[in-house]
Amino acid sequence: MTTILGLSGSLRKASFNAGLLRAAAEVAPEGVTIQIGSLREVPLYDADLEAAEGLPPAVATLQHQLAGAQGLLLVTPEYNNGIPGVFKNAIDWVSRGPGLSMFVGKPVAVLGASPGGFGTIMAQAHWLPVLRTLKADLWADGRMLVSRAQGSFDAEGNLTSEETRARLAEFVHGFARRLGAG
């Protein structure tokens, strides 16, 4: 069994990106599980907190999930043409202590959905220096941008567009093949 840790960079329950991640888990090929992690309980990074108490439980959970995964799927919103602060903060926390070594060589795929016309292209580009610094292995063979996402999701954030679902399945299957699965 191949496990991919999937993280949505939005805390909103009905977010397009959380919905895209749920749909990715649904279309994963046989033998591949997308485990959905959560950023919700990750506090703002504070070196004093880390020194006094160590890693917060939510961060330790994400590190454990990352360690057990063969790949990482970052489903990123785009806020003001960049990476959402809550998402970058979580990755900063996860890379602390033993977490940094968990990123080295780890295959990572980035995708996202946005109500705008460019579908998270800027946020995805902003992940490049972060992933390079972490020495992750960015999978760049596939590209998944969902523009004008309000037309592809319902009010609860569930993917309703069959065309987008088909593109997502192709993307997820390609990433799974990169991991030697699917």
Backbone φ and ψ of 74, nearest 5°: -100, 115
148: DSSP letter: S
pTM across the whole model: 0.96
C-alpha pair distances (Å), 157 with each of 17, 50, 60, 64: 8, 34, 28, 28
Q: Output the tens digit of pLDDT for each of the chain's 182 residues.
A: 999 999 999 999 899 999 999 999 999 999 999 999 999 999 999 999 999 999 999 999 999 999 999 999 999 999 999 999 999 999 999 999 899 999 999 999 999 999 998 889 999 999 999 999 999 999 999 899 999 999 999 999 999 999 999 999 999 999 999 999 86
Domains assigned to the chain: 6-178 (3.40.50.360)
